[in-house]
Amino acid sequence: MTAPSRRKLTAACKTLAAADPALGRAYEELGVPEWRVGDPCYAALCRLIAYQQLSTKAAGTIWGRTEAMFGEVTPEAVLAADPEEIRACGMSRPKVRHMVSIAEAMTTGLLDLERVCTSDLDLARKELVSVKGIGPWTAELFLLYSVGAMDAFPVGDVGLMEAHKLLSEAETRMEIKEFTAHAACWQPYRGVAAHMLWGWINDRRAKAAQPSPQA
Protein backbone atom coordinates (compact mmCIF):
# COMPACT_ATOMS: atom_id res chain seq x y z
CA MET A 1 0.00 0.00 0.00
CA THR A 2 1.17 3.53 -0.73
CA ALA A 3 0.44 6.30 1.75
CA PRO A 4 -1.34 9.45 0.59
CA SER A 5 1.05 11.80 -1.15
CA ARG A 6 2.97 14.41 0.80
CA ARG A 7 1.08 17.11 -1.07
CA LYS A 8 -2.31 15.67 -0.08
CA LEU A 9 -1.23 15.18 3.53
CA THR A 10 0.11 18.72 3.80
CA ALA A 11 -3.10 20.20 2.40
CA ALA A 12 -5.19 18.07 4.76
CA CYS A 13 -3.07 19.03 7.78
CA LYS A 14 -3.47 22.72 7.01
CA THR A 15 -7.23 22.33 6.70
CA LEU A 16 -7.41 20.43 10.00
CA ALA A 17 -5.16 22.93 11.76
CA ALA A 18 -7.55 25.72 10.79
CA ALA A 19 -10.59 23.71 11.90
CA ASP A 20 -9.39 22.61 15.36
CA PRO A 21 -6.94 24.47 17.63
CA ALA A 22 -5.71 21.19 19.11
CA LEU A 23 -4.72 19.93 15.68
CA GLY A 24 -3.27 23.35 14.92
CA ARG A 25 -0.93 22.93 17.86
CA ALA A 26 0.00 19.40 16.77
CA TYR A 27 0.77 20.63 13.26
CA GLU A 28 2.79 23.58 14.55
CA GLU A 29 4.92 21.33 16.77
CA LEU A 30 5.39 18.30 14.52
CA GLY A 31 4.36 19.21 11.00
CA VAL A 32 3.05 16.55 8.61
CA PRO A 33 2.90 13.15 10.34
CA GLU A 34 4.40 9.98 8.96
CA TRP A 35 1.64 7.73 7.60
CA ARG A 36 1.52 4.22 9.02
CA VAL A 37 1.63 1.77 6.13
CA GLY A 38 0.61 -1.89 6.05
CA ASP A 39 0.04 -4.50 3.35
CA PRO A 40 -3.61 -5.10 2.35
CA CYS A 41 -3.53 -8.76 3.29
CA TYR A 42 -4.91 -11.34 5.72
CA ALA A 43 -1.84 -11.09 7.95
CA ALA A 44 -2.49 -7.37 8.46
CA LEU A 45 -5.95 -8.13 9.84
CA CYS A 46 -4.55 -10.83 12.12
CA ARG A 47 -1.89 -8.47 13.39
CA LEU A 48 -4.53 -5.89 14.31
CA ILE A 49 -6.44 -8.59 16.18
CA ALA A 50 -3.29 -9.62 18.04
CA TYR A 51 -2.75 -6.03 19.20
CA GLN A 52 -6.28 -5.54 20.55
CA GLN A 53 -6.45 -4.62 24.25
CA LEU A 54 -2.76 -5.30 24.87
CA SER A 55 0.31 -3.17 25.36
CA THR A 56 2.41 -2.67 22.25
CA LYS A 57 5.27 -4.64 23.79
CA ALA A 58 3.15 -7.66 24.79
CA ALA A 59 1.28 -7.73 21.48
CA GLY A 60 4.53 -7.44 19.53
CA THR A 61 5.92 -10.47 21.35
CA ILE A 62 2.80 -12.53 20.63
CA TRP A 63 2.67 -11.51 17.00
CA GLY A 64 6.36 -12.29 16.60
CA ARG A 65 5.76 -15.82 17.88
CA THR A 66 2.79 -16.19 15.53
CA GLU A 67 4.84 -15.14 12.52
CA ALA A 68 7.65 -17.46 13.56
CA MET A 69 5.21 -20.36 13.80
CA PHE A 70 3.72 -19.85 10.36
CA GLY A 71 6.52 -18.20 8.43
CA GLU A 72 3.79 -16.47 6.44
CA VAL A 73 0.40 -15.94 8.06
CA THR A 74 -2.13 -16.89 5.38
CA PRO A 75 -5.76 -18.07 5.50
CA GLU A 76 -4.75 -21.50 4.27
CA ALA A 77 -2.02 -21.89 6.89
CA VAL A 78 -4.29 -20.83 9.75
CA LEU A 79 -7.11 -23.15 8.67
CA ALA A 80 -4.67 -26.06 8.47
CA ALA A 81 -3.17 -25.36 11.91
CA ASP A 82 -4.17 -26.73 15.28
CA PRO A 83 -5.89 -23.83 17.10
CA GLU A 84 -4.10 -24.84 20.31
CA GLU A 85 -0.75 -24.30 18.61
CA ILE A 86 -1.82 -20.76 17.74
CA ARG A 87 -2.99 -20.33 21.34
CA ALA A 88 0.48 -21.36 22.49
CA CYS A 89 1.86 -18.24 20.78
CA GLY A 90 -0.10 -16.20 23.31
CA MET A 91 -3.29 -15.57 21.36
CA SER A 92 -6.51 -15.77 23.37
CA ARG A 93 -9.19 -18.25 22.30
CA PRO A 94 -11.49 -15.48 20.98
CA LYS A 95 -8.64 -14.05 18.91
CA VAL A 96 -7.87 -17.47 17.44
CA ARG A 97 -11.55 -17.88 16.57
CA HIS A 98 -11.48 -14.49 14.85
CA MET A 99 -8.41 -15.47 12.82
CA VAL A 100 -10.17 -18.66 11.72
CA SER A 101 -13.42 -16.84 10.91
CA ILE A 102 -11.63 -14.30 8.72
CA ALA A 103 -9.65 -17.06 7.00
CA GLU A 104 -12.88 -18.90 6.20
CA ALA A 105 -14.46 -15.70 4.84
CA MET A 106 -11.49 -15.11 2.56
CA THR A 107 -11.29 -18.66 1.24
CA THR A 108 -15.01 -18.72 0.46
CA GLY A 109 -14.98 -15.30 -1.18
CA LEU A 110 -17.18 -13.62 1.40
CA LEU A 111 -14.29 -11.24 2.08
CA ASP A 112 -12.25 -10.03 -0.89
CA LEU A 113 -9.49 -7.65 0.17
CA GLU A 114 -8.79 -6.56 -3.40
CA ARG A 115 -12.43 -5.49 -3.63
CA VAL A 116 -12.16 -3.74 -0.25
CA CYS A 117 -9.14 -1.76 -1.43
CA THR A 118 -10.91 -0.47 -4.52
CA SER A 119 -14.39 0.09 -3.07
CA ASP A 120 -16.03 3.25 -1.83
CA LEU A 121 -15.07 3.75 1.83
CA ASP A 122 -18.55 2.99 3.19
CA LEU A 123 -18.84 -0.18 1.11
CA ALA A 124 -15.37 -1.26 2.23
CA ARG A 125 -16.38 -0.76 5.86
CA LYS A 126 -19.54 -2.82 5.39
CA GLU A 127 -17.69 -5.70 3.77
CA LEU A 128 -15.08 -5.83 6.51
CA VAL A 129 -17.46 -5.66 9.49
CA SER A 130 -19.77 -8.25 7.91
CA VAL A 131 -17.15 -10.83 8.84
CA LYS A 132 -17.20 -12.24 12.36
CA GLY A 133 -13.99 -11.17 14.07
CA ILE A 134 -13.66 -7.80 12.33
CA GLY A 135 -15.15 -5.03 14.44
CA PRO A 136 -15.30 -1.32 13.58
CA TRP A 137 -11.93 -0.56 15.25
CA THR A 138 -10.11 -3.27 13.30
CA ALA A 139 -11.86 -2.31 10.05
CA GLU A 140 -10.97 1.37 10.39
CA LEU A 141 -7.32 0.69 11.16
CA PHE A 142 -7.06 -1.70 8.21
CA LEU A 143 -8.56 0.98 5.98
CA LEU A 144 -6.10 3.53 7.37
CA TYR A 145 -2.90 1.52 7.18
CA SER A 146 -3.51 -0.93 4.36
CA VAL A 147 -5.78 1.10 2.08
CA GLY A 148 -4.64 4.64 2.89
CA ALA A 149 -8.17 5.93 3.42
CA MET A 150 -7.79 9.51 4.60
CA ASP A 151 -11.18 9.57 6.34
CA ALA A 152 -11.03 6.18 8.08
CA PHE A 153 -11.33 6.75 11.82
CA PRO A 154 -11.01 4.31 14.75
CA VAL A 155 -13.83 5.52 16.98
CA GLY A 156 -13.07 5.05 20.66
CA ASP A 157 -9.29 4.93 20.32
CA VAL A 158 -8.10 5.98 23.78
CA GLY A 159 -4.78 7.30 22.50
CA LEU A 160 -6.52 9.73 20.18
CA MET A 161 -8.85 10.99 22.89
CA GLU A 162 -6.00 11.42 25.35
CA ALA A 163 -3.86 13.29 22.81
CA HIS A 164 -6.71 15.65 21.99
CA LYS A 165 -7.34 16.30 25.68
CA LEU A 166 -3.69 17.18 26.28
CA LEU A 167 -3.43 19.36 23.18
CA SER A 168 -6.63 21.17 24.19
CA GLU A 169 -5.36 21.52 27.77
CA ALA A 170 -8.74 20.22 28.94
CA GLU A 171 -9.20 18.90 32.47
CA THR A 172 -11.04 15.76 31.39
CA ARG A 173 -11.07 13.52 28.34
CA MET A 174 -14.15 13.55 26.13
CA GLU A 175 -16.43 10.53 26.25
CA ILE A 176 -16.50 8.41 23.09
CA LYS A 177 -19.82 9.80 21.87
CA GLU A 178 -18.72 13.39 22.38
CA PHE A 179 -15.32 12.79 20.76
CA THR A 180 -16.91 11.09 17.76
CA ALA A 181 -19.27 14.03 17.30
CA HIS A 182 -16.36 16.46 17.61
CA ALA A 183 -14.37 14.52 15.00
CA ALA A 184 -17.12 15.14 12.45
CA CYS A 185 -15.58 18.57 11.82
CA TRP A 186 -12.40 16.81 10.61
CA GLN A 187 -14.14 15.12 7.68
CA PRO A 188 -13.03 14.14 5.07
CA TYR A 189 -9.65 13.90 6.79
CA ARG A 190 -10.35 12.08 10.05
CA GLY A 191 -7.64 9.54 9.28
CA VAL A 192 -5.13 12.34 8.83
CA ALA A 193 -6.26 13.84 12.15
CA ALA A 194 -5.70 10.46 13.79
CA HIS A 195 -2.12 10.35 12.47
CA MET A 196 -1.51 13.90 13.72
CA LEU A 197 -2.74 13.00 17.21
CA TRP A 198 -0.84 9.69 17.36
CA GLY A 199 2.31 11.38 16.10
CA TRP A 200 2.08 14.12 18.69
CA ILE A 201 1.39 11.90 21.70
CA ASN A 202 4.04 9.35 20.69
CA ASP A 203 6.59 12.15 20.40
CA ARG A 204 5.55 13.43 23.82
CA ARG A 205 5.96 9.96 25.35
CA ALA A 206 9.33 9.45 23.71
CA LYS A 207 10.61 12.75 25.12
CA ALA A 208 9.25 11.89 28.59
CA ALA A 209 11.11 8.58 28.49
CA GLN A 210 14.45 10.23 27.78
CA PRO A 211 16.76 10.52 30.80
CA SER A 212 17.12 13.96 32.30
CA PRO A 213 20.41 15.71 31.53
CA GLN A 214 22.95 15.54 34.32
CA ALA A 215 23.18 18.67 36.39
Residues 128 and 175 in one domain: no
Average pLDDT per consecutive 10 residues, the chain (215 residues; last block may be shorter): 88 98 97 93 96 90 97 97 97 97 97 95 97 96 96 93 96 94 97 97 87 62
Question: What's the CATH number where 77 sits?
Answer: 1.10.340.30
Expressed as residue numbers, the domain containing 51 is 42-147
Residues 102 and 125 in one domain: yes
Residue 10 pLDDT? 97
Task: Judge whether 215 lies within some domain.
Answer: no
Residue 211 pLDDT? 78
Task: Judge whether 213 lies within some domain.
Answer: no
- Please indicate, yes or no, whether the overall pTM of this predicted structure exceeds 0.85: yes
Residues 130 and 47 in one domain: yes
Residues 28 and 58 in one domain: no
Q: How far is CA 50 from CA 54, 87, 128, in A?
A: 8, 11, 17
